[in-house]
Chain A
């Protein structure tokens, strides 16, 4: 019995020691990178010395011999540095970073297994020898006043990092994979890391010369080690005792209030007072808990200097990292959530943003590039920016790349603004890097950043100026657990819509709905100002029973936007906006994919929280690659060659009483003006018939007349019944140039009347859903004549052929 409790105490002590040492090593890492930039700072050296010294001291007491030995050799090296017997050089820093990795690996091993891995004991000797060598050579070179930088050989480095990462078989797979990968090829290292870091080192060897290979590989390992560290969420949290006391007080008050309420009878007079008290205590408690969960973003930032340093070396860039607003606080869970996107953005900044030193000199910039991480509060959210002073993003290249990958058509590209073009970077599978490097450029990039940030209710913005740099701005809410939401009703159930996805609310009475909602194939759309908004009926999507009797009341459209999907969600009714507490759903319900959680509403009813992006995806709303040009339909493929969103002059005409579906209204048709040669009013007697087909002699040519609206028989009938002296009716014929298999041919189209010639926008449409393409002209939908849709007007060259 006694034995057991003793053992437990040791474990707790060890755990505490590990947490403390890890924190010490983190500080050390930060100091080391800083020391490299400011080698004369004595304060930094002492700080590093302290970290290693503490580990050494405690570890002897706990009986971890291996750790002590390593720490001791590090300490003696640092001691020499502190006593100014050594000079700070990049080799020394490299050595110390390896020491740090070694210490960290042993600590992680102890944390995982409780043992420090006796079997790997002998492996430390290389590292210890290397440190010793560094010390001796450093001291010698200082004496002989030689530059220590040139003299170093790479040999010891080759083996040292491997030792640092070698672990016993019991260690987690992540680390074991590194060590095994080291022996074969660089590719193996990349396997265990998730999407963002995948391929970290995969092509290190391709992009570098043979001579540099070894250096590259060791650095690659170091960088991977850092990112695995970055990806590992910190399971513990440091809380201010003050905050904890405050929490305890508030819980005490909550208990007292509860006691009073429990004693209440239905006619207790001060019930309202009690309810008010409960309200305020709850609010205070919530505030305190949130405060306790808040962590300075500096915690996250502190991991980057090392990463930037290692990346800089791998990519051949000179980069300095600066921070601003480290003390800005953010909820712990959100901090974890932005970890990956931020890592990615920083990596991008170093690899794509900052130019190689030679180019920077040519551009008249300082040789050393600067990556700035800045955090600040802005209107209820925290903004984290990654700013680099690199080359910036060239919109031409973005567009070129986008066209190459078929993400945008040349015609659409020609009219895009710079901002719109930059948005393309967020489309999946996009990368502008000229060569795929080992760090980034695989096209798994900004789309991941965006979706990760949007998952926690944030937004990503991108600003860039060619020549002067790029800013990636992430906006994240302060907290996740409690979000403002709008509660809506549909099919007799309540659903919560996160406010941050909600842009607008529209009420349509039943009468308005009849005219305002237009049908395109099976998709119903609503014209909201300049745009077509695909509508999703929530009750239909979720197979809910439609509430009977609701029909006459009209409905609400909640305009939602998330992950680039914009649509109108049709719901029966709106309820009050509420601050809801998000509760996770069980995994098998999460699998449905439409709900992101559930919440208990003020009236005690459980409501499901709608995942706005997933709902849109389920209903087939396509994400909008480019803002502003955003008419989409259920078509997942980009429309073949129809230039979506292009302004085009269109002839608008009416065919006959044959609209889409059963509507008696005449459908508005459109045809590109470029395809129409003339609009003729042809007396009926000029129209001749051959083999049942209407023909017209026109400029010495015989034109086939297309009469889809069956207007000619109607007109003939009208002429026959009219008085003989009345003016003969004439048919309106559009003389068009029709592209066909044998070149362009003229043809005539009989129309009821020509309505207008005006500029319109061609819209993307699913060809499976309706025959023609659609165009938006003067805020009304028109169907483009099917013969002329796919080309969106005739190519100029074919036009000339005819002319």
Chain B
């Protein structure tokens, strides 16, 4: 059933994208790559963890490490709680969470409207972004969950700043 759906989507050259908001920017993640969206949840902070780790939240009997997209983008963490998207870490066969300010509608996007990252993007954005969709009201940056994996972020070295 699901396979059929995907097949149809691919035929039409469109994908369904879940839109997210961080600060003033709009982002999108392929819905097939999202395991679950948790409502307003405040992660428990982990002292001494890298700054981009928002903390941990309980999820289905496990402890979910959550990455703050705000911090990754160089913004200050918000005092109010955000939403957490649960994503698969395909390498470790585990899950992790991404903390965003808000989750918006699911949009069906034409893959033809996807443009690659511009060359002159700063290294942080280059690392995180996976192209962008040109839309009527601006850009929606596509994110690739595999690029947000905590282990990858740590390995990249660009974001590895310890909390002071």
Contacts and interface: CB of A to CB of B under 8 A. Distances in A.
Given A543-B163, A543-B164, A606-B57, A586 B65 contact: yes
**Size category, B interface:** 20 to 34
Interface stretch (B9-17, B45-53, B98-106, B116-124): B45-53
Contacts of A597: 63
Interface string B37-49: 0000000111111
Contacts of A595: 46
Interface in A602-641: 604-608
Nearest to B50: A588
A587 B48 contact: no
A289 interface: no
Contacts of B94: 586
Nearest to A582: B63
B154 interface: yes
A602 B131 CA distance: 44
Nearest to A491: B47
A256 interface: no
B65 A585 contact: yes
A592 B164 CA distance: 14
Most buried by A among B53, B58, B150, B163: B58
A350 interface: no
B92 interface: yes
A544 interface: yes
Contacts of B150: 586, 588-589
B63 A585 contact: yes
A606 B44 contact: yes
Contact of A592 (B45, B48, B62): B48
B44 A589 contact: no
B125 interface: no
Given A543-B164, A583-B62, A606-B57, A589 B49 contact: yes
Contacts of A607: 44
B164 A598 contact: no
A606 B63 contact: yes
Interface in A568-605: 583-589, 591-592, 594-595, 597-598, 600, 604-605
Contacts of B45: 493
A595 B96 CA distance: 18
Nearest to B67: A588
Contacts of B108: none
A585 B61 CA distance: 12
B151 interface: yes
Given A586-B96, A589-B53, A544 B47 contact: yes
Nearest to B47: A542
A493 to B, nearest CB: 7
Contact of A589 (B61, B65, B163): B65
A588 B48 contact: no
Contacts of B58: 583, 600, 604, 606
A710 to B, nearest CB: 42
9 contacts: A583-B62, A583-B63, A585-B56, A585-B65, A586-B96, A587-B92, A588-B151, A598-B44, A604-B58
Nearest to A544: B47
Contacts, number: 64
Nearest to A606: B44
Q: Identify the 3 closest CB pairs spanning chains A and B, nearest first.
A: A542-B47, A606-B44, A586-B65
Contacts of B50: 588
A584 B56 CA distance: 11
B151 A587 contact: yes
A542 B50 CA distance: 12
Contacts of B44: 493, 598, 605-608
A600 B92 CA distance: 23
A493 B45 CA distance: 8
Q: How large is the interface on A (under 10, 10 to 19, 20 to 34, 35 or more residues)?
A: 20 to 34
Nearest to A586: B65
A606 B56 contact: yes
A592 B46 CA distance: 10
A586 B63 contact: yes
B58 to A, nearest CB: 5
A585 B58 CA distance: 11
B120 to A, nearest CB: 30
Most buried by B among A544, A584, A587, A598: A598
A542 B44 CA distance: 14
Contacts of B49: 589, 592
Nearest to A608: B46
Contacts of B163: 543
Nearest to A539: B47
Given A493-B45, A542-B47, A606-B56, A588 B63 contact: no
A547 to B, nearest CB: 14
B13 to A, nearest CB: 32
A591 B56 CA distance: 15
B66 to A, nearest CB: 10
B101 to A, nearest CB: 21
B47 A584 contact: no
Contacts of A598: 44, 56, 63
A589 B96 CA distance: 12
A38 to B, nearest CB: 50
A604 B41 CA distance: 12
Interface in A315-361: none
Given A583-B62, A589-B53, 4 more contacts: A493-B44, A542-B47, A598-B44, A606-B56
Nearest to B153: A588
Nearest to A492: B45
B47 A588 contact: no
B93 to A, nearest CB: 12
Contacts of B61: 583
Contacts of A543: 47-48, 163-164
B163 to A, nearest CB: 6
Contacts of A584: 63
B154 A588 contact: yes
A124 B63 CA distance: 51
Contacts of A600: 58
Contacts of A605: 44
Interface in B147-164: 150-151, 154, 163-164
A592 B50 CA distance: 9
Interface in B60-106: 61-63, 65, 92, 94, 96
Contacts of B63: 583-586, 597-598, 606
Contacts of A594: 47-48
A586 B86 CA distance: 14
A109 B96 CA distance: 37
B59 to A, nearest CB: 10
A595 B49 CA distance: 11
A542 B48 CA distance: 6
B125 to A, nearest CB: 22
B96 A493 contact: no
B35 to A, nearest CB: 15
Nearest to B43: A606
Contacts of A583: 58, 61-63
Interface string A269-294: 00000000000000000000000000
A30 B62 CA distance: 41
Contacts of A606: 44, 56-58, 63
Contacts of A544: 47
Contacts of B48: 542-543, 592, 594
In this complex, which of A584, A586, A606 has the most chain B Cβ atoms within 10 angstroms of its Cβ? A586
Nearest to A490: B47
Contacts of A608: 44, 46-47, 56
Contacts of B57: 606
A493 B47 CA distance: 10
Nearest to A593: B48
A603 to B, nearest CB: 12
Contacts of B151: 586-588
A145 to B, nearest CB: 65
Of B48, B49, B96, B150, chain A has the most CB atoms within 10 Å of the CB of B48
A219 to B, nearest CB: 41
B65 A588 contact: yes
